[in-house]
């Protein structure tokens, strides 16, 4: 069985200015001469965490961790201005050139998987391959699965609590209603909306054994508020993508090595997404893990991700 590699500290930290006042936080870990891999966090808006460094063999990888616009340690935290998928793709390419990387491996989970696919399809000559976990394809049905059409049928009581939180006129379009509250000038309303969303999203993501969300609006942290604002910003704008671009664009990357890993019990991103992606990339590997949910945690998921990274490193790194 594989385990995460031991904790390690970055050997370099960068703060890279991009447009509209955004400043990107980037760290590099492992071997400066190793195989470059770009870690793409989910959310959108989640930011990178220290344990994300540990998926990669520090002797063979030059691991690059990017906090996307407004997320994590990038500033302005929670910034929504000029924060779209197209901006994130431009940031990734600017980062590649800044770090003088010719080609890199992309390692992305959930929203990070969608971003990895979008970047690879736009810049296939700059990509060695992809490792994708809990793939999100950014179609209308993928977002609906996380709401009333999927998880809402599994957790009907929790979905009803979210609807009951909203004013009656907002219940037909709950995401838009929450987003309006999250971006209002009323700070208490912002935190109440964030709490309502976190109670729902954390339940679906982590399961019934987890106490979803903070106990009160006053306990919503600034980090949680910013993450929620960015996540809903992307959701209400359909992730700034057309209806099915990530599947339609797969022929451009069919030649790239790709390992797709998905939990069978994923209630955030349906396993159907991984199956359709594998069909669109027939030379890819597909691993559907029984009894595994969405998060990059637990023995089976960690084993699969670390093994995938080790095998990818074996293709190029000495």
Instruction: Point out the residues that are catalytic.
Output: 110, 266, 294
Contact between 247 and 275 under an 8 Å Cβ cutoff? The reply is no
CA distance 129 to 105: 5
Closest by CA to 295, choosing from 168, 198, 207, 169, is 207
- For residue 166, give the DSSP letter: S
Contact between 108 and 115 under an 8 Å Cβ cutoff? The reply is yes
- For residue 238, give the DSSP letter: G
CA distance 155 to 153: 6
Residue 222, both tokens: 């600034």
76 cis-preceded (ω within 30 degrees of 0): yes
The full DSSP string for 42-107 is -TTTT---GGGGGGS-TTTEEEEEEE-TTSTTSBSTT--TT-SHHHHHHHHHHHHHHTT-S-EEEE
Strand partners, 75: 23
Cβ contacts of 224 within 8 Å, gap of 6 or more: 194, 198, 214
Instruction: Tell me which residue has tokens 């344990």.
Output: 51
For residue 297, the SS3 value is coil
């Amino acid at each position: 069985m594989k385990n995460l590699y031991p904790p390690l500290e970055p050997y370099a930290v960068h703060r890279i200015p991009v447009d509209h006042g955004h400043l990107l936080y980037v760290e590099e870990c492992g071997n400066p001469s190793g195989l470059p891999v770009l870690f793409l966090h989910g959310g959108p808006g989640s930011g990178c965490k220290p344990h994300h460094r540990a998926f990669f063999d520090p002797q063979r990888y030059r691991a690059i961790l990017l906090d996307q616009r407004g997320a994590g340690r990038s500033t302005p935290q929670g910034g929504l201005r000029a924060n779209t998928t197209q901006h994130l793709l431009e940031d990734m390419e600017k980062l590649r050139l800044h770090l003088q990387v010719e080609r890199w491996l992309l390692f992305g989970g959930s929203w990070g998987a969608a971003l990895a696919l979008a970047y690879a399809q736009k810049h296939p000559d700059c990509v060695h391959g992809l490792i994708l976990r809990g793939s999100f394809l950014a179609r209308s049905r993928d977002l609906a699965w996380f709401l009333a059409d999927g998880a809402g049928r599994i957790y009907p009581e929790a979905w009803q609590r979210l609807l009951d939180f909203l004013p009656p006129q907002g219940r037909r379009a709950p995401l838009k209603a929450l987003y309006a509250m999250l971006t209002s000038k009323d700070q208490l309303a912002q935190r109440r909306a964030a709490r309502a969303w976190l109670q729902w999203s954390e339940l679906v993501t982590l399961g019934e054994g987890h106490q979803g969300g903070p106990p009160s609006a006053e306990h919503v942290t600034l980090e949680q508020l910013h993450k929620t604002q960015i996540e809903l910003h992307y959701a209400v704008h359909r992730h700034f993508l057309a209806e099915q671009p990530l599947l339609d664009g797969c022929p451009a990357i069919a030649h790239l090595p790709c390992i797709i890993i998905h939990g069978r019990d994923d209630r955030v991103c349906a396993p159907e997404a991984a199956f359709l992606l594998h069909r669109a990339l027939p030379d890819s590997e597909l691993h559907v893990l029984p009894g595994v949910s969405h998060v990059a945690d637990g023995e089976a998921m960690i084993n699969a991700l670390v093994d995938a990274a080790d095998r990818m490193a074996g293709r190029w790194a000495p």
